[in-house]
A and B are shown apart, each in its own frame.
Chain A
Amino acid sequence: MKLTLKIWRQKSPEHKGKLIEYRINDVNPNDSFLEMLDTLNYDLILKGENPVSFDHDCREGICGMCSLFINGRPHGPDRGIATCQLHMRRFNYGDTIYIEPFRAKAFPVIKDLVVDRSAFDRIQQAGGYISVNTSGNPQDANTLPIEKSVSDNAFDAATCIGCGACVATCKNASAMLFVAAKVSQFALLPQGKIEAGERVAHMVKQMDAEGFGNCTNTGACEVECPKEISLENIARMNREYLKASLSR
């Protein structure tokens, strides 16, 4: 397979970036997208050029480290996967592929396609937890039965991998789906209800402070989320937020 790549190259946060064109031949359709980039990098290194920096780690769609905005879509054209699970068979001979970083004010570029997503960590630090001591002696797990459907919904929200695709695809660069997923997981579970009000208030405050935009319900985040996290979570977060605002 023969392809043209247009890849965002940016030396550092201070430097200006631009799209650089690379032509590659003999791409194996069964290679993953990141393996295609590995091959490109191998050749660039042999030519004495700097390889393209991109984030990746587990390469099985669960760590959330990989990003990439491929032909205008986070994690590329397929639904329900991260970039590392995208395979070259999804493209055609002669295609031109645009590869850019996840762009948002709150995700500054570090280098090339690598962005700084530490804003997500700070939002979680603001309240994304249940305040129990880990060295304590909790009660037996089965003394707290939880309805299966409730637990399953909490699990679905908890599958968020924190990749930032929701932010990258949103025209407002909103992080509502990400924040809502965590708020929902805990708001649904009895263990998390106790601090639900404080949690949502603090997390939303931090989200705003990080410079993420607001939600205008376009639903693009749900479409691009590699774990297909539902928009219902945003509705739930809004309810939780309203409840918290009224009672504070």
Chain B
Amino acid sequence: MSELNAKIPVGPLAEKWTTYKNSINLISPANKRSLDVIVVGTGLAGGSAAATLAELGYNVKAFCFQDSPRRAHSVAAQGGINAAKNYTGDGDSVYRLFYDTIKGGDYRSREANVYRLAEVSSNIIDQCVAQGVPFAREYGGLLANRSFGGVQVSRTFYAKGQTGQQLLLGVYSALNRQIARGKIEMFNRHEMLDVVLLGDKARGIISRNLVSGAIDRHSAHAVVIASGGYGNLFYLSTYAMGCNASAAWKAHKRGAFLANPCFNQIHPTAIPVGGPNQSKLTLMSESLRNDGRIWVPKDQEDAKALREGVKQPNDIADADRDYYLERQYPAFGNLVPRDVASRAAKERCDAGYGVNVTGQAVFLDFHSAIYRFGKEQARIKGLDTDDDRLITRLGEEVIKGKYGNLFQMYQKIIDQDPYKTPMMIYPTTHYTMGGLWVDYNLMTTVPGLFAIGEANFSDHGANRLGASALMQGLADGYFILPYTIGDYLSQDIGTGKIPTTTIEFEEAELQVTERIHRLINNKGSHPVDYFHKKLGTIMWQYCGINRNKKGLETAMEEIKSVRLAFWENAIVPGTAEEFNEELAKAGRLADFLELAELYAKDALFREESCGAHMREEFRTTDGEALRNDTDFAHVAAWEYKGEPRNALLHKEKLVYENIEVKQRSYR
């Protein structure tokens, strides 16, 4: 075990980034033209990085598995993006955003990185507006804000429930501008299957063309992993079907440490599981908790009647409803952070108060908001403020304006009208705070291999606050990596083109091809999904909202046995030389089955509770997460040693000089 050096610049917190930028090496425009960078993934982080690097003059090759970079799963982010603009004048500042993020992450993130994130946040909004991103506006023409969980200010910018889409299309347009200039070579429907090291430096990747099956070598002076998170370990999640951890896992196997893999965000408000063939879960944005109130019946008999369909939600009188978040957390109410809200929902359902046929759901009710908005509108418009039907209609119009697309999505999936009947929601896997360990430069433990966006372990500690993922992705890609990678590349101005004919490329390609052939020639008896569902069940049962020692040990064994069964018994139809989705799925699952075991091991080793990592053995008397700052105020960074369970632990000590570390309270 060793102490990791995060290379945090010296000096006062608020000046670190400026000092750093003033002291790094720069590269002349002519020299940038002779430097190549590979970016894997084209979501908010990868896309913005590729566009900015190309604009600076580097030669960029960008890869995505989708048929267009516009489809990366950042597109599905709904609620918004945080920025410390303080446009609402409610007391926000860079320090507050920094403070909220550290506290929200339960004091398990790195001060210097989080401060830098808060510092550049304002610039993101300016940048996006300049690109033509149509954020929501007030009638006066200025930008609108709303509030998100875990904070007491309104600093979230949004575009209805489609903020991720609008930001990604902004990134996509910046990418397109550089593709048109010939500065980015874009590889759609490609995936990275290995990273190639020459000496100790990352110098290229092996890719597979998902249409033709062709395996290709690509060299560069630096490689950037921006391939997102690994929440699809759970099979059911809010991730897109294709989201995978293969690029990050391959990087790990080549020497990049994986940090805090057990820090996984379970989002409190997704549409609950409907049936055995369910393939994914759909999020209902956290922004809904601005106006929706979460409740279950006070009486278990009512809950039973609701499950059996004998009663309908509107049959339960207001006095018989338990608005449990408002009851338990009066200061933050329905806007507690995600980890807290998820645990509370599970606790109520486990105690027998859950609704839906399965008992695994709680209500998110807009009735009061509709009434409140309706009354306000009637007053503004000079209409009858005692006409309940009119008020309801006016209120529904307001809600539709704010969340229309989310309500439509809900209605299509559940076949109920959420304007009239409360939504049913339940927690599900949504985002992974863990990821590749990076230093202040966003570089992994492999020189020349960078990780940005959700793919790194980054800034969110043990729990990410809402609307901070978009912020981090764009901050990394537009504003941070372009500086830090330049400092690294300055040593390569005389290196020249990296050849792909070396033995290292040859060996990596051979390994990739061999694994594909092993998968395709496996004449097993179960399709890939069979094993993926098994993995998902284990993860949800033992590694989800609550964990304990015995369960995690069981998980490690069971994951290993599913992995062995997969390699023995999976069927992959078709050939390797064609469009073959099952083959791509098989490769991704093979990597998940390794990563999952390390996830469980990490959760087992972290003998404390913090943020989303809730060990049943370590709880306060109120049932909240009980941290152990003496032994676990560190980042757990794992080094690959052959088998996932043999991974070697390295620690990065977390030092808080600018913030008082205390027990998180939202009560």
| Residues of A bordering B, CB below 8 Å | 11-12, 28, 30-32, 34-36, 38-39, 41-42, 44-46, 48-51, 53, 55-65, 78, 80-81, 85-87, 89, 110-111, 114, 116-118, 120-121, 124-126, 128-142, 144-148, 151-152, 154-155, 158-159, 161-162, 185-186, 189, 191-192
Residue B382 lies at the interface, judged by CB distance under 8 Å to chain A: no
Closest-by-CB residue of A relative to B414 is A30
Known: A59-B241, A110-B211, A158-B169. A138 touches B129 (CB 8 A): yes
Known: A63-B73, A186-B132. A35 touches B141 (CB 8 A): no
Known: A134-B48, A135-B478, A138-B129. A35 touches B279 (CB 8 A): yes
Cβ-defined partner of A117 (8 Å) among B68, B179, B283:
B68
Rounded to whole Å, the gap between the CB of B231 and the closest CB of chain A is 13
Known: A139-B126, A155-B160. A114 touches B579 (CB 8 A): yes
**Interface members, chain B 114-158 (any A CB < 8 Å):** 123, 125-132, 134-143
A31 & B277 in contact (Cβ 8 Å cutoff): yes
Closest-by-CB residue of B relative to A186 is B132
A64 & B277 in contact (Cβ 8 Å cutoff): no
B415 & A89 in contact (Cβ 8 Å cutoff): yes
A56 to B71, CA, bound (A): 10
- From B70, B85, B125, name the one whose CB has the most chain A CB atoms within 10 angstroms: B70
Lowest 6 A-B CB distances belong to which pairs?
A145-B141, A129-B173, A155-B134, A138-B130, A141-B129, A63-B71
B131 & A132 in contact (Cβ 8 Å cutoff): yes
6 intermolecular pairs with C-beta atoms under 8 Å apart: A36-B277, A62-B76, A124-B70, A125-B177, A135-B52, A138-B129
B162 & A57 in contact (Cβ 8 Å cutoff): no
Rounded to whole Å, the gap between the CB of B181 and the closest CB of chain A is 9
A contact residues around B174 at 8 Å (CB): 129, 134
Cβ-defined partner of B188 (8 Å) among A63, A121, A142:
A121
Known: A62-B165, A135-B55, A145-B142. A118 touches B176 (CB 8 A): no
Cβ-defined partner of B277 (8 Å) among A38, A61, A125:
A38
B contact residues around A56 at 8 Å (CB): 241
B240 & A28 in contact (Cβ 8 Å cutoff): no
B132 & A185 in contact (Cβ 8 Å cutoff): yes
Closest-by-CB residue of B relative to A59 is B280
Q: A134-B52, A136-B130 are in contact. List 5 more A-B contacts (CB 8 A).
A: A60-B283, A124-B172, A130-B131, A147-B141, A154-B134
B contact residues around A151 at 8 Å (CB): 134-137, 141
Rounded to whole Å, the gap between the CB of A183 and the closest CB of chain B is 12
A142 & B574 in contact (Cβ 8 Å cutoff): no
| Residues of B bordering A, CB below 8 Å | 48, 51-52, 55-56, 66-71, 73, 75-76, 85, 87, 123, 125-132, 134-143, 159-160, 162, 164-166, 169, 172-174, 176-177, 179-180, 186, 188, 211, 238, 240-242, 274-280, 282-283, 408-409, 412-413, 415, 478-479, 482, 527, 529, 571, 573-574, 578-579, 581-582
A217 to B534, CA, bound (A): 51
Cβ-defined partner of A87 (8 Å) among B130, B172, B412:
B412
B75 & A63 in contact (Cβ 8 Å cutoff): yes
A177 to B69, CA, bound (A): 20
A126 to B413, CA, bound (A): 37
A155 & B176 in contact (Cβ 8 Å cutoff): no
Closest-by-CB residue of A relative to B130 is A138
A118 to B169, CA, bound (A): 16
Cβ-defined partner of B162 (8 Å) among A31, A48, A154, A159:
A159
Cβ-defined partner of B409 (8 Å) among A35, A53, A60, A144:
A60
Rounded to whole Å, the gap between the CB of A146 and the closest CB of chain B is 5
Closest-by-CB residue of B relative to A191 is B132
Cβ-defined partner of B132 (8 Å) among A80, A116, A117, A192:
A192
A contact residues around B126 at 8 Å (CB): 138-141
B contact residues around A159 at 8 Å (CB): 162, 165
Rounded to whole Å, the gap between the CB of B304 and the closest CB of chain A is 22
Rounded to whole Å, the gap between the CB of A12 and the closest CB of chain B is 7
A63 & B180 in contact (Cβ 8 Å cutoff): no
Closest-by-CB residue of A relative to B71 is A63
A contact residues around B66 at 8 Å (CB): 57, 63, 65
Cβ-defined partner of B127 (8 Å) among A12, A138, A155, A158:
A138
A28 to B131, CA, bound (A): 45
B contact residues around A44 at 8 Å (CB): 573
A62 to B165, CA, bound (A): 7
A135 to B162, CA, bound (A): 24
Rounded to whole Å, the gap between the CB of B47 and the closest CB of chain A is 10
Rounded to whole Å, the gap between the CB of B54 and the closest CB of chain A is 9
A137 to B164, CA, bound (A): 22
Closest-by-CB residue of B relative to A85 is B412
Rounded to whole Å, the gap between the CB of A140 and the closest CB of chain B is 6
- From A110, A133, A135, A192, name the one whose CB has the most chain B CB atoms within 10 angstroms: A135
A35 to B278, CA, bound (A): 7
B contact residues around A86 at 8 Å (CB): 412
A130 & B142 in contact (Cβ 8 Å cutoff): no
B contact residues around A11 at 8 Å (CB): 578
A49 & B137 in contact (Cβ 8 Å cutoff): no
B contact residues around A110 at 8 Å (CB): 211, 579
A121 to B408, CA, bound (A): 28
B274 & A30 in contact (Cβ 8 Å cutoff): yes
A125 to B186, CA, bound (A): 11
B contact residues around A65 at 8 Å (CB): 66-67, 71
B582 & A58 in contact (Cβ 8 Å cutoff): no
Closest-by-CB residue of A relative to B128 is A141
Known: A46-B527, A114-B579. A129 touches B134 (CB 8 A): no
Rounded to whole Å, the gap between the CB of B309 and the closest CB of chain A is 15
Closest-by-CB residue of A relative to B65 is A57
Cβ-defined partner of A131 (8 Å) among B177, B275, B479:
B177
A57 to B68, CA, bound (A): 12
